[in-house]
Structure 1
Amino acid sequence: MSDKIYFNTSNRFNFKKQLINATTRLHHTLAPKHAKNTARKLLLTPVRAKPKNESPQNLQVASVQSKYGALTTYTLGQGPVWVLNHGWSGSASQFFPLMEQIAKSGFTAMAYDQPAHGQSDGAYGHIPAFVHGLETILDNVDELAGVVSHSMGAAATLECRHAKMQNVPLLLVAPVLNYLENLFGSVARSGYSIKLFTAVVEEIEAEYSYPLNSIDPQAHLKRRESQTIIVHDEKDRFASHSISEQASQSSNNVELVTTQGKGHGRIMSCQETYDAFTRLIHSN
């Protein structure tokens, strides 16, 4: 259900939106605890998408343990490791074509399903879970060569403070760099009560000691000294291309590759993304 909220880009007036707003506000007023539990299930439960691509030959499937349960990993190739981190309601299978390119280049490609996504354990998805998922994977990697991230996964990658992340190159595909604005804007467009959603967010903040105002992927990107390439479609409806453009203009370490007609998902396996990866490994 939540993908219909977070991937809703319409600002048009409609009766259903107004009904949702009135109903959720009333629910929050009359039964606040029940309303928050219902909202958590609705807004923090990603869709477990079916695999987007066929599994490459010699793909190794395993798991690592996290505080959210087992995270399913998918490994291909040999050599230093590139970790691949998907976005909201996505899965590691979206990266299978790129993983083949990485393996052919002499590296190990290691993708994984975030908590509550794909074949991994977990009930809810949110930034603290995404960051912890990445940290857990990095704890199990001996030689990290770089990280590839898509959409919300890119925001989590930039939020991650793991020591292994500090000096490695990043490939960010259709990143959500204005994470908070994007998140609250999506919920507002759905008609859902912002006051109720904020109450759920405050519970997550307290539960995981993760203050909302600390989330600023764009600022974290600007402070990074290692090379980053962003591949972003100009007409992306779900993540702002203009924010990526601003990021590239404000940092000498960030390069933007703009695509046409690749959208938010297909861009993960387009030639421009493959070429960006090749440039990163040659320059590093």
Structure 2
Amino acid sequence: MSSKIYFKQGKGLDLRRGLINLTTRLHHTVAPRHARKVAKNLLLTPDRGKRCTREPVGLIRRQIETTEGKIMTYQLGLGPTWILGHGWSGSSSQFYSLMEHIAAAGYTALAFDNPAHGESEGRYGHLPGFVKVFDEVLDQQASIVGVIAHSMGGAMVLESRHSLLKGKPILLVAPVLNYTENLVSTVKRSGYSMKLFNEVVGEISETYQYSLESIDPLERLKTHFGETVIVHDKGDRFASFQHSETACNLDHVKLLATEGLGHGRILNSAPLRQAFDSLVAQQ
């Protein structure tokens, strides 16, 4: 959904929420078709804002064909492959620093921009589309040694059933392990018409045969069994640190808690690089 809603976590004003609710419900009543179109644009359009990030020397860009359109991939280094997946309104450029670290360790870092994100095609973004593209990127790999994912990208990885993931280590960065609960509660707090939201979600569910209710990253993590490390900041305002704490009760999951890094800065942090090194050392 749009970062205007998804990343709007503050309580805000009750009056504002009330006006949004009244306006969107009235729109839906008077012009339902147009209201659904507007809702799709708002709920499914990520922020493609360009990030001024230095591109690593030797980075290879390659556009691949998928059922979701042309997807841009970014490859750095030589050796066994780690796949990197970004979150909502993110892009592969967020991983450039980490990709350099991975390449320096003797591995290939392969990142990709999800549909409607970064330099990939697509007008709308949503988790079923993320999972589909992720699986198709994996289809093009002979093998991988592990996966790194940030935010909603963590839900994407855990929801995938791809055979290449079986038993592979996963490094989750600020994951949204309570994806469905987080999404629904955020829309409710915004005041947006839940009827309109449910119609948009229902259309996606029908198209992809993927119901919102079936999405449960935390439950999927329980059955992954590959070594998993979560790096999460205690003060993260966008992804629940509490759910990461719950996950570390699983035998194969370890939590590295940070402070003062938030939801985004953590991607360029020393603790994240240390977490990667710790996973590599176990292989």
Q: Classify the TM-score, shorter chain.
A: over 0.9
Are residues 1:268 and 2:267 paired? yes
Post-superposition offset of 1:202 = 0.6
User: Given that residues 76 and 110 in structure 1 are in contact (C-alpha distance below 8 angstroms), is that contact kept between their aligned partners in structure 2?
Assistant: yes
Offset from partner CA, 1:175-202 (integer Å, 9 cap, x none):
0000001111111122211121011101
Distance 1:237 1:46 in 2: 18
- 1:33 aligned onto 2:36: no
Which secondary structure does the structure 1 equivalent of 2:26 belong to?
A: helix
For the pair 1:16 / 2:32, whether they are aligned, the reply is: no
Residues 40-189 of structure 1 correspond to what in structure 2 (within 5 A)? 40-189=40-189
Gaps of 5+ in 2: none
Distance in 1 separating the partners of 2:136 and 2:49: 22
CA distance in 2, matches of 1:14, 1:212: 27
CA distance in structure 2 between the partners assigned to 1:270 and 1:49 by the alignment: 22
Equivalents in 1 of 2:271, 2:65: separation in Å?
A: 34
Q: Which runs of at least 4 in structure 1 moved beyond 4 Å after TM superposition?
A: none
Structure-1 residue corresponding to 2:215: 215
Structure 2 match to 1:232: 232
Aligned counterparts of 2:221 and 2:28: Cα–Cα separation in 1: 37
Per-residue deviation, residues 194-220 of structure 1 (Å, max 9, x unmatched): 121011101110011112221000000
**Which segments of 5 or more consecutive residues in structure 1 lack a partner in the other structure?**
none
The TM-score, its normalising length taken from structure 2, stands at 0.98
Alignment-derived partner of residue 193 in structure 1: 193
C-alpha distance in 1 between matches for 2:151 and 2:105: 24
Query: Percent of pairs identical after alignment?
Result: 51
Structure 2: which amino acid aligns with 1:187? V
Give the counterpart letter for 2:268 in structure 1: S
Kindly indicate whether the alpha-carbon contact (under 8 Å) linking 1:237 and 1:264 is maintained by their aligned counterparts in 2: yes
> d(CA) in 1 for partners of 2:213 and 2:263?
26
TM-score, length-scaled by structure 1: 0.97
Question: Take 2:53 and 2:97, find their aligned partners in 1: how far apart are those partners?
Answer: 8
Cα RMSD after superposing both structures: 1.1
Q: Distance in 2 between matches of 1:53 and 1:211?
A: 36
Contact 1:83 1:146 in 2 (8 A): yes
Deviation at 1:52, TM superposition (A): 4.8
Q: What letter matches 2:177 in structure 1?
A: L
Q: Which residue of 1 aligns with 2:254?
A: 255
Deviation string, structure 1 residues 227-248 (Cα, Å, up to 9, x no partner): 0000000010000000000011
Q: 139-148 or 168-177, which moves further after superposition?
A: 139-148
Give the number of aligned pairs. Answer: 283
